[in-house]
Amino acid sequence: MNFSRGLAAAACVLALAPAALPPYAMTLLTEALILGLFAMSLDLMVGYTRLLSFGHAAAYGLGAYTCGNLLLHTGMPLLFAVPLAALFSGIVAIGVAWVCTLASGVSFSMLTLAFAQLFYAVAFKWTTVTGASDGLAGIPRSPGPFGIAIFAGKAGFYYLVLACLLGSLLFCRMLVHSPFGEVLRGIRENEAKTLSLGYNTRRYKIAVVAIAFALGGLAGALYAPFAGFANTELLFWLFSGQVLIMVIVGGAGTLVGPIIGAAFFMLVSNLLSSWTDSWALFFGLIFIGFVLFAPQGIWGLLSGTGRAEGRERVRWRFLKSTS
């Protein structure tokens, strides 16, 4: 099954879902798709460029707060507010990435974490914009332009999310198969070599962080009107860790894998939380199991390790145990 046929089939199934699923399941599915978009955006950094970000919640939170403020205070229609929030998140990311790319490796990860926590700390105190610990509540799905109101409904909003996810997936796929994507892979495999080939790797890294933040911001911007609220939890480091789990469990460097990882995360945490109070315990165990025994992720397991076609294998640069 090649990529475009598989994608078309998946899109058809997902498009028919509102007809078959009960409302509660639709809510879960919509959230899973939003998280899928978020996880996929992180995959551009983690899977393709080997930029391990521990602060991707910053993108989500930026998008959510920006979109929430636009919808609450300007009366801007949903269809304009969402892309604008994504754009804003991407622009902020350029500054963040400029600082973070001064370092590399573990220091890069920790800097991203520091920035996300900085945003968290600011959001906690800047009451007029973020509502502090109460957050923003009652975020509307404003209609328009031209009185388009179908996205205000449950099914309509689901289609909006689905369209954003599929559009972003196609965009990312195009991106990673472009010359730009090849340079990213070069950075992943051997940054020094890529640099000596004449590529300004830092500029490429800043660009990929900006794109990842814009798409992550898009996910956050969709979440705010979906949930109707935005709070500081969206910026918390735990959320950054969770999205990283989604990427790894799904399969880093595959784009589709993280989406599946996000769906898996939603499904398992919901099943576990309905069955036991201690879902985090089992979740941690499942996660450790994946890292130990299936580092290629769910998508890697599904598509089989032997097949190279249509799939990107992340070959982590093995850190020799003794170095």
The residue ranges that bind another protein (CB under 8 A) are 46, 52, 54, 99, 102-107, 109-111, 113-115, 117-118, 121-122, 124-125, 237-238, 241, 244-245, 248, 278, 280-281, 283-285, 287-288, 291-292, 295, 316-323
Tell me whether residue 232 or residue 303 sits nearer to another protein (CB atom).
Answer: 232
Minimum distance, C-beta of residue 317 to another protein, in the bound complex (Å): 7
Is it true that the peptide bond before 258 is cis, omega within 30 degrees of 0?
no
Query: Can you tell me which residue has the tokens 């051997």?
Result: 190
Residue 136 phi, psi (nearest 5): -95, 130
Residue 53 DSSP one-character state: -
Alpha-helical (H) ranges within the chain are 3-20, 23-46, 57-73, 78-100, 106-125, 127-130, 154-176, 179-189, 191-196, 201-227, 237-250, 256-275, 279-293, 297-303
Residue 259 CA to residue 156 CA, distance in Å, equals: 21
Minimum distance, C-beta of residue 253 to another protein, in the bound complex (Å): 12
Tell me whether residue 30 or residue 254 sits nearer to another protein (CB atom).
Answer: 254
Tell me whether residue 277 or residue 309 sits nearer to another protein (CB atom).
Answer: 277
Q: At 294, is the secondary structure helix, strand, or coil?
A: coil
Residue 199 CA to residue 82 CA, distance in Å, equals: 34
Tell me whether residue 79 or residue 118 sits nearer to another protein (CB atom).
Answer: 118
CA quadruple 62, 231, 161, 142: dihedral sign? negative
Minimum distance, C-beta of residue 84 to another protein, in the bound complex (Å): 26
Burial of 211 (0-12, 13-18, 19+ CB in 10 A): buried
Minimum distance, C-beta of residue 303 to another protein, in the bound complex (Å): 21
Tell me whether residue 11 or residue 110 sits nearer to another protein (CB atom).
Answer: 110
Tell me whether residue 102 or residue 174 sits nearer to another protein (CB atom).
Answer: 102
Q: Provide the b/e sequence for 251-268 (b: ≥16 CB within 10 Å).
A: bbbbbbbbbbbbbbbbeb
Return the bridge partners of 230, or none. Answer: 136
Q: At 285, is the secondary structure helix, strand, or coil?
A: helix
Minimum distance, C-beta of residue 48 to another protein, in the bound complex (Å): 14
Minimum distance, C-beta of residue 266 to another protein, in the bound complex (Å): 16
Minimum distance, C-beta of residue 145 to another protein, in the bound complex (Å): 38
Tell me whether residue 18 or residue 251 sits nearer to another protein (CB atom).
Answer: 251
In angstroms, how far is CA 287 from the centroid of its own chain?
A: 18
Q: Can you list the positions of beta strands (E) in the chain?
A: none
Tell me whether residue 93 or residue 162 sits nearer to another protein (CB atom).
Answer: 93
End-to-end CA distance of the chain: 42
Minimum distance, C-beta of residue 172 to another protein, in the bound complex (Å): 20
Residue 59 CA to residue 44 CA, distance in Å, equals: 13
